């Protein structure tokens, strides 16, 4: 399946959208992320680590850091983060933030 990932580019945080092929087992959870109005994002830090997040307009719901050197390792970490996504918890936090 294809997931859209927003990459924040240095030095000014310019956003570039990428399509990433991820495991089909992520499809249901990825759709839940989108249904919550959230998205996947990534950026390479100055330490060369990669920060990957599930973010909403107002906050980062989940984050994972990877060493950054291996695209496949980064993708596997992203898939794990997608699979642990909790739609109900995300909606709860969105509601709390909107109060």
Q: Which residue range forms the structural domain that includes residue 82? A: 2-98
pLDDT for 99 = 81
pLDDT in tens, 8-57: 998 889 999 999 999 999 999 999 999 999 999 999 999 999 999 999 99
* Nearest Cα residue to 91 out of 44, 42, 34: 34
Nearest to 23 by CA among 67, 70, 80: 80
- pTM value is 0.94
**What is the C-alpha to C-alpha distance for residues 35 and 20, in angstroms, rounded to an integer?**
18
Q: Look at the chain and report how many structural domains it folds into.
A: 1
């Amino acid at each position: 399946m294809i997931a859209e990932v927003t990459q924040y580019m240095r030095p000014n945080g310019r956003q570039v959208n990428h399509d990433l092929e991820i495991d089909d087992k992520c499809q249901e959870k990825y759709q839940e992320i989108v249904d919550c109005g959230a998205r996947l994002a990534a950026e390479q830090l100055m330490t060369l680590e990669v920060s990957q997040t599930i973010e909403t307009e107002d906050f980062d719901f989940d984050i994972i850091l990877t060493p950054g050197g291996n695209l496949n390792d980064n993708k596997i970490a992203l898939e794990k983060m997608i699979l642990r996504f909790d739609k109900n918890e995300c909606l709860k936090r969105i509601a709390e933030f909107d109060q």
